[in-house]
A = this chain, B = another copy of it.
Amino acid sequence: MNHKAPLVEFDEERLARAALTYLAEPGDPALGALLGICDPAEILAAIRADLLPGTGPGCGDSPASRAALGRALGRWRSRLPRLPDAEGMAGACHDGIRLICPGDAEWPGALDQLGQARPYALWLRGAADLRLASSRSVSMVGSRAATGYGEHVAGEIAADLAEQGWVMVSGGAYGIDAAAHRGALAAEGITIAVLACGVDYPYPAGHADLFTAIAAQGLVVSEWPPGCHPARMRFLVRNRAIAALACGTVIVEAGERSGALNTARHAADLGRPLMAVPGPVTSAQSAGCHRIIREWAATCVTGAADIIEMLSPMGVPHALAPDGATAPAPPPGSGPPTSVDGAPSGDDLDADSARVLGAVPARGGAGTSTIAVDAGVDLDTVLRCLGRLAGYGFIERGNRGWRLRKH
C-alpha cells in the first residue's frame, strides 16, 4: 500500500489544497469558512491575485469579517514567495510521502466532524491506509516528562491493544507518546504519529529512527507540508487531529497543565470517549488524569480491556462496517449504516443503545438526563450508550446537547 502519488494525480483541486497547506496554518478559521463556500482553486487564485475571495452569503459580508478576511489574505500572501511550484509540490511526494485530500478513498471521514477546522489536506508517510487504520484506533497521549510508571503502563496498554488489532495514534513526542508508539510497534501493531511539523522533519531529533520505524509499519501524518518545522502553537492545533482521528482518547499521565489535557478537551468536544489512566496520588504527573476522572470528564481505565470495552460499539462490530463491506473494524465518523432516508439505523445496536439512539433528537439537541428519561434507562447506561453512539458517529454533541449526526 506504499503508493507514491505520481505527478499526474495533482489535479487542480489537489494542487490547490497542497498549496493551502503551505500558505495557511491548519485550523485557520478564515480559510475554514472560505472552504465551505469556495473551491480550493478559487481561493488559491484569489490569494495570488490579492483579491478578497468568498463574496457569497455567510462569509465576508460584514465589514468586520471582510476586514478579518483581508488580514488573513495578507498572512497567506506573505508566504507566497516560499510556495513551491506545481512540480515542487508533487516532488515533495518522495520516499513514501503522499498527499490525501477530502473525498479521497483514504480520507478518514472521522476528520469531517471537525467541521470548518477540518484539515485542508494531509501529508502521509508510511505503509498503512489511514482510513482503515484510524477506523479502529485509540489515541494515547500524555506527559513528555513521564515517569517510569507512566511509560511502562503506556507501553503495556499499547502493546495489548495492538495485539487485539487496535491502532495506536499519538503525537510522536518524548515520554508517553513514544512509549505508546513503541508498545504498538513491539507488538507488531500499526501506529500513527500525528506530527506538528513536516512528516520528513525529525522532531524531536532523537525520534528520527522511531518515525522511520513508524512509517515502515504504520503512518506518520501531518497537516503541515514536508520540510515544515514545528512551532509551539502547532502542537495545540495538531492535538485536535489526534483526537478526531481516533475512536477514543486515553490520557496516561498528565500534569495539571499538560498539553495532553488539550487533546482530552478536543476528544470530549467531539463526543468521543475520553479515558484516563490513574496513578499514584503522590505523583504530580497523574494529577491531570485524576482531575478529569474526578470531574467525570474521563472514564477511569486500567488496561486494554477497559479501553476496548469503552470503544467497542454495541452489538457486533463487523455488522457495522461501512458500505456493507467486510471492514475489520467499526468506522468512527466514517458513517454508520444508513437507512433509506439517510438517517442512522439502529438495527444492529443492543437494546439499550437502540433506546438511547431513539431518544436523541435529529435537530436542536437534548441533555443527557432528558435522553435518559426518554429512553427509560439509568444514568450509567445512558452515559455509556451516548459515549459509544458518539464514538461510532451516530450522534454528536452540539451547543444545545446531543443530536443525531448528519451524514
**Which A residues from 280 to 307 make CB contacts under 8 A with B?**
280-282, 286-287, 290, 293-296, 299-303, 306
In the complex, what distance in Å separates the CA atom of A17 from the CA atom of B383? 48
Q: How many copies does the complex hold?
A: 2
**Do A294 and B290 have beta carbons less than 8 Å apart?**
no
In the complex, what distance in Å separates the CA atom of A293 from the CA atom of B299? 8
| Chain B CB within 8 A of A116 CB | no
Chain B residue, CB-CB nearest to A372: B369
> Assuming A367-B378, A373-B370, A378-B367, is B300 touching A278 (CB within 8 A)?
yes
**Do A380 and B295 have beta carbons less than 8 Å apart?**
yes
In the complex, what distance in Å separates the CA atom of A314 from the CA atom of B293? 22
**Do B378 and A281 have beta carbons less than 8 Å apart?**
no
Q: A290: which of B302, B369, B382 is its contact (CB, 8 Å)?
A: B302
A176 CB, nearest partner CB in chain B, Å: 14
In the complex, what distance in Å separates the CA atom of A372 from the CA atom of B373? 10
**Do B278 and A306 have beta carbons less than 8 Å apart?**
no
| Chain B CB within 8 A of A66 CB | no
Q: A300: which of B280, B300, B382 is its contact (CB, 8 Å)?
A: B300
A152: which B residues are within 8 A, CB to CB? Answer: 282
In the complex, what distance in Å separates the CA atom of A290 from the CA atom of B279? 10
A373: which B residues are within 8 A, CB to CB? Answer: 367, 369-370, 373
In the complex, what distance in Å separates the CA atom of A152 from the CA atom of B372? 41
> Assuming A293-B293, A294-B306, A373-B370, is B378 touching A282 (CB within 8 A)?
no
| Chain B CB within 8 A of A368 CB | yes
A372 CB, nearest partner CB in chain B, Å: 4
Q: A382: which of B149, B295, B303, B369 is its contact (CB, 8 Å)?
A: B369
A142 CB, nearest partner CB in chain B, Å: 13
**Do B277 and A303 have beta carbons less than 8 Å apart?**
no
| Chain B CB within 8 A of A24 CB | no
| Chain B CB within 8 A of A379 CB | yes
Chain A 44-88 interface mask (CB, 8 Å, partner B; 1/0): 000000000000000000000000000000000000000000000
**Do A369 and B379 have beta carbons less than 8 Å apart?**
yes
| Chain B CB within 8 A of A153 CB | yes
In the complex, what distance in Å separates the CA atom of A277 from the CA atom of B203? 37
Residue with the greatest number of chain B CB neighbours at <10 A, chosen from A280, A287, A372: A280
In the complex, what distance in Å separates the CA atom of A280 from the CA atom of B150? 9
A382: which B residues are within 8 A, CB to CB? Answer: 369
**Do B380 and A369 have beta carbons less than 8 Å apart?**
no
User: Which 9 A-B pairs rank lowest in CB-CB distance, beginning with the nearest?
Assistant: A278-B278, A369-B372, A281-B302, A369-B369, A294-B300, A293-B300, A290-B302, A369-B373, A368-B379
